[in-house]
Amino acid sequence: MQILLVDDETELTEPLSRVLTREGYHVEVAHDGIAGNTLAAQGRYDLLILDWMLPHTSGLQICQQLRSHGDTTPVLFLTAKDTIDDRVQGLDAGADDYLVKPFELRELLARVRALLRRPPLQDVLVSSRIQVEELELDVENQMAYRHGYSIELSEKESQLLAYFMQHPGQLLTHAQIHQHLWRDGEKPSSNVLAAQVRLLRRKLEGMDEAPLIHTVYGKGYRFGRSTEPDGAPEG
């Protein structure tokens, strides 16, 4: 497996590169955004580990550029930013996971294994088109349609929305959603699910549409236009 590690802190990249190499991965390292972006654009990596703040070009910009060109290579952000708004911004850029510095090496290795074992979207979902009430999801093309408006989704957003739409009106617990989206049982970092739900809500309700995703406080979420919320929003 080929991994690109882009971080300007040599005191981090050197030991991390050694650990990943010892685990059997082939690791290439870049220490600034320009070099990292050039390497990432070659499309020959199985995973990108990007620091958010980089000289010249940020990890966020690298991720955005890749996604704008249809590159779905998994991206793990390493960053000191830890607010839910930061997480939403990272997910909105197309990141798959998010790890806050400082972190334990064993946690990073678990996340690397999880992302490299991630099944393709077409293997996760049974139907390529799903419709619930006025909302239609085109899974293959990662597009949703509501009242004539098209909504572009990331791969993770497509997976999450499809899971909701396959279980309308049902309480889906945090644990169930984690297990579905991160199928090997590895939990994402804190608040990533809430940030992902907030981002999806923002897209689905962008034209002042009625809410479709409703929080069941302390438990999870229910999907459907006629569902009443059971508690204060978490995402």
pLDDT tens column, 144-195: 998 878 899 988 888 899 889 888 888 888 888 887 787 655 566 658 888 8
Domains (ranges, CATH) in the chain? 2-116 (3.40.50.2300), 121-223 (1.10.10.10)
**DSSP tag of 104:** -
Q: Between 90 and 65, where is the model more confident?
A: 65
% of residues, the chain, pLDDT over 90: 24
User: What is the pTM for the complete model shown?
Assistant: 0.57
58 pLDDT exceeds 80?
yes
Q: What number is the average pLDDT over the span 84-98?
A: 80
Distance separating alpha carbons of residues 70 and 135, to the nearest angstrom: 24
Which has more confidence, 183 or 75? 75
Contact 46, 22 (CB under 8 A): no
Q: Tens digit of pLDDT for each residue in 117-152?
A: 765 444 444 457 788 878 889 887 888 998 878 899
For strands 135-138 and 129-132, give the pairing.
antiparallel
Whether the ω angle into residue 102 lies within 30 degrees of 0, i.e. cis, is yes
The strand ranges marked E within the chain are 2-6, 26-30, 47-51, 75-79, 97-100, 129-132, 135-138, 143-146, 149-152, 172-173, 213-216, 220-223
Cβ(140)–Cβ(128) below 8 Å: yes
Give the DSSP letter string of 210-234: PP-EEEETTTEEEE-TTPPP-SS--
Q: What is the pLDDT at residue 189? A: 62
Q: Say yes or no to pLDDT of 81 above 80.
A: no
